[in-house]
């Protein structure tokens, strides 16, 4: 049965095949705007183009990048041409003619265009290569190599790119380099920012000829300008102007006419759009969004964004920068009808140990069953936007608390680094603190508090039931179970992540469980091996603490469409079973 007034995002009945599209990789070109749009019914993603005269056209070629496992930069625009990284071969193709430009055994990503060339990152089994691809189809040339590389930009014979070493993640230690580029390759390469204790990302040549980049040298990712041999801050603020660089094509700032800028700013879970005037003055652009994806683009004097909020599904919009506050939506989903749970931002504790959560109450009053959710990543944050899972569970009478535990982004470098060597300890303590706060304030029902997470959040959930209370059950989707083993099985990009987070006692051990667990996992997961989960399931079953094991054939690390719906329905059934047992 459906609860009255609940949006029909999910149902208790047969699993539906439909789901909303997703928008990513927004960029401007001569024809208008471009982005990567998922086509759920077709099971693929394509490049979409919106012209200034109106109308959106979806491309025909399936696109996507597998570089660093998380991809990004799957297309580039050069004049009237669109070049894409085609799935599943990972090669560069001309979208219009279907002509292939590369024939490498290695996948490509991080495409960009400049000076009549295409640039891209090519990942081998051991390192990355920055390549120049001839649009005429004459092959590709390796420009430079490094353990890891970010997307490059080329303008007027000047090249800029990001690189980082083996054993580190780019949000911990990365560098911006520049060089002159000509027929004889790169000359006079020099590092202009970054180092062992600094993350420098997203280099771009500005209209004024200067190099711009984002650096966390002050403890916050802020925008800098490099000129006359030195870097100077452009818009200092106690907020994060960059997203942790999981993908290769993030664009958290964009240039506006008249020497102005637009920059995303994240403070805790909330994102804002900051407009920086030519004299350095900062002002907020009034937006109906609490979440902005890390893709900004300039269209005339307006800023294109992908924005969302707890009551608005992600949409693509053009934001005026003239102070009028006008927002023109050019691509969106149908807005959900009925009651939507809107979160309250709560903070527990104080000082460096303060933890922030988004608390979603269900309809009605009084203490409710509570689901505490540590986000995946773990170097990420809770999304302050419409979440189908949240609405599904609040619609069924559960409260939900999304926790930005220590290690989350949006709170500065020190908070982001606070999980190093303490994974499964500090994050668990923060989830427990939020649960106890909601119990103490009468918003959670005693004995009916659950913990649920996916990927790294699934690991946190499993660790959270490794000691008594307050959690009555854990749900783990696509969970990492053995951090030590994960250092060997994780994608090459993420192995240093596993190493810096882990500690000698980091493994999930069935012998420590004090509450049951539901395990949900895809059989084709390339990030977290399913064998680890099935072994844990067997051990839990032997102790009578396996609430269930849902294996999803042919499903990878990310649960979407029917797999996501099956997982949500299994999770709801598991909670109801635990609550029914407690009521006997």
Instruction: Give residue-wise pLDDT tens across range 138-175.
Output: 889 999 999 999 999 999 999 999 999 999 999 999 99
The answer to whether 562 and 17 are in contact (CB under 8 A) is yes
Say whether 344-583 and 23-167+249-331 share the same fold.
no
- Using the 8-state DSSP alphabet, how is residue 197 labeled? T
User: Rounded distance, CA 25 to CA 47, Å?
Assistant: 9
- Residue 405's closest CA among 373, 436, 383? 373
User: Rounded distance, CA 54 to CA 314, Å?
Assistant: 19
Residue 80 pLDDT exceeds 90: no
The structural domains of the chain, with segments of one domain joined by +, span: 23-167+249-331, 168-248, 344-583
Residue 80: count other Cβ atoms within 10 Å of its Cβ. 9
Predicted local confidence at residue 564, as pLDDT: 93
Query: pLDDT (tens digit, 9 = 90+) per residue, 301-348?
Result: 999 999 999 999 999 999 999 989 899 999 998 877 778 999 999 999
Confidence band, pLDDT 50/70/90 cuts, at residue 14: very low
| Alpha-carbon dihedral 167, 427, 292, 290, rounded to 10 degrees | -170
Confidence band, pLDDT 50/70/90 cuts, at residue 13: very low
Tokens, residue 516: 């049951």
Predicted local confidence at residue 17, as pLDDT: 29
User: Rounded distance, CA 107 to CA 379, Å?
Assistant: 25
Residue 279 pLDDT exceeds 70: yes
Query: pLDDT (tens digit, 9 = 90+) per residue, 234-256?
Result: 999 999 999 999 999 999 999 99
The answer to whether 410 and 383 are in contact (CB under 8 A) is no
**Whose structure tokens read 């006419």?**
257
Residue 15 pLDDT exceeds 80: no
- 3-state SS assignment for residue 565: helix
User: Rounded distance, CA 100 to CA 92, Å?
Assistant: 6
In the predicted model, what is the mean pLDDT of the chain?
93
- Architecture of the domain whose range is 344-583: 3-Layer(aba) Sandwich (3.40)
182-194 mean pLDDT: 92
- Architecture of the domain whose range is 23-167+249-331: 6 Propeller (2.120)
Residue 16 pLDDT exceeds 70: no
- 3-state SS assignment for residue 27: strand
User: Rounded distance, CA 333 to CA 314, Å?
Assistant: 7
Predicted local confidence at residue 11, as pLDDT: 31
533-552 mean pLDDT: 98
Q: Give the rounded percent of residues in the chain with a pLDDT score beyond 90.
A: 85
User: Rounded distance, CA 462 to CA 7, Å?
Assistant: 30
The answer to whether 122 and 133 are in contact (CB under 8 A) is no
420-440 mean pLDDT: 97
Those residues whose C-beta lies under 8 Å from the C-beta of residue 350, and which sit 6 or more positions away, are: none
Query: pLDDT (tens digit, 9 = 90+) per residue, 358-396?
Result: 999 999 888 999 999 999 999 999 999 999 999 999 999
- Residue 224's closest CA among 160, 284, 272? 160
């Amino acid at each position: 049965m459906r609860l009255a007034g609940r949006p029909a995002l999910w149902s208790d009945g047969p699993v539906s095949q439909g789901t909303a599209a997703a928008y990513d990789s927004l960029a401007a070109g001569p024809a208008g705007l471009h982005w990567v749009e998922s086509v759920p019914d077709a099971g693929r993603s394509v490049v979409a183009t919106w012209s200034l005269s109106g109308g959106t056209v979806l491309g025909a070629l399936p696109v996507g990048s597998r570089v660093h496992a998380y991809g990004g930069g799957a297309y580039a625009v050069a004049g009237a041409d669109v070049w894409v990284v085609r799935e599943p071969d990972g090669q560069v193709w001309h979208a219009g003619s279907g002509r292939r430009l590369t024939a490498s055994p290695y996948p490509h990503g991080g495409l960009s265009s400049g000076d009549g060339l295409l640039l891209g990152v090519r990942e081998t089994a051991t390192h990355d290569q920055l390549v120049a691809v001839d649009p005429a189809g004459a092959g590709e040339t390796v420009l430079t190599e490094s353990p890891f590389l970010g997307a490059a930009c080329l303008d007027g014979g000047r090249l800029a790119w990001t690189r980082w070493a083996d054993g580190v993640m780019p949000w911990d230690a990365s560098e911006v380099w520049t060089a002159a580029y000509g027929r004889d390759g790169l000359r006079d390469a020099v590092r202009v920012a970054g180092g062992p204790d600094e993350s420098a990302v997203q280099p771009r040549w500005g209209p004024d000829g200067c190099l711009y980049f984002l650096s966390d040298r002050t403890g916050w990712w802020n925008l800098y300008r490099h000129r006359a041999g030195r870097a100077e801050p452009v818009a200092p603020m106690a907020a994060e102007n960059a997203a942790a660089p999981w993908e290769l094509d993030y664009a958290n700032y964009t240039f506006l006419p008249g020497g102005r800028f637009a920059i995303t700013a994240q403070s805790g879970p909330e994102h804002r759009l900051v407009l920086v005037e030519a004299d350095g003055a900062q002002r907020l652009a009034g937006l109906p969004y609490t979440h902005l994806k890390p893709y900004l683009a300039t269209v005339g004097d307006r800023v294109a964004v992908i924005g969302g909020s707890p009551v608005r599904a992600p949409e693509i919009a053009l934001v005026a920068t003239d102070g009028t506050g006008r927002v023109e939506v050019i691509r969106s989903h149908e807005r959900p009808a009925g009651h939507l749970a809107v979160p309250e931002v709560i903070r527990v504790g104080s000082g460096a140990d303060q933890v922030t959560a988004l608390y979603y109450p269900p309809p009605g009053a009084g203490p409710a069953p509570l689901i505490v959710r540590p986000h995946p990543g773990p170097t990420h944050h809770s999304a302050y936007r419409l979440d189908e899972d949240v609405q599904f569970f609040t619609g069924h009478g559960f409260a939900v608390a999304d926790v930005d535990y220590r290690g989350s982004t949006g709170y500065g470098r020190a908070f982001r680094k606070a999980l190093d060597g303490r994974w499964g300890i500090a994050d668990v303590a923060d989830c427990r603190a939020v649960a106890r706060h909601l119990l103490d304030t009468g918003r959670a029902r005693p004995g009916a508090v659950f913990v649920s997470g996916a990927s790294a959040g699934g690991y946190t959930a499993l660790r959270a039931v490794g000691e008594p209370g307050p959690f009555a059950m854990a749900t783990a989707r696509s969970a990492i179970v053995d951090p030590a083993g994960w250092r060997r099985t994780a994608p090459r990009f993420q192995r240093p992540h596993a190493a810096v987070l882990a500690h000698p006692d980091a493994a999930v051990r069935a012998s420590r469980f004090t509450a049951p667990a539901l395990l949900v996992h895809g059989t084709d997961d390339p990030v977290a091996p399913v064998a680890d989960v099935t072994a844990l399931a067997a051990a839990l079953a032997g102790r009578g603490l396996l609430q269930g094991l849902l294996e999803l054939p042919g499903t990878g690390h990310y649960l979407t469409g029917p797999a996501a719906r099956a997982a949500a329905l299994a999770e709801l059934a598991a909670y109801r079973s635990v609550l029914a047992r407690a009521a006997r």
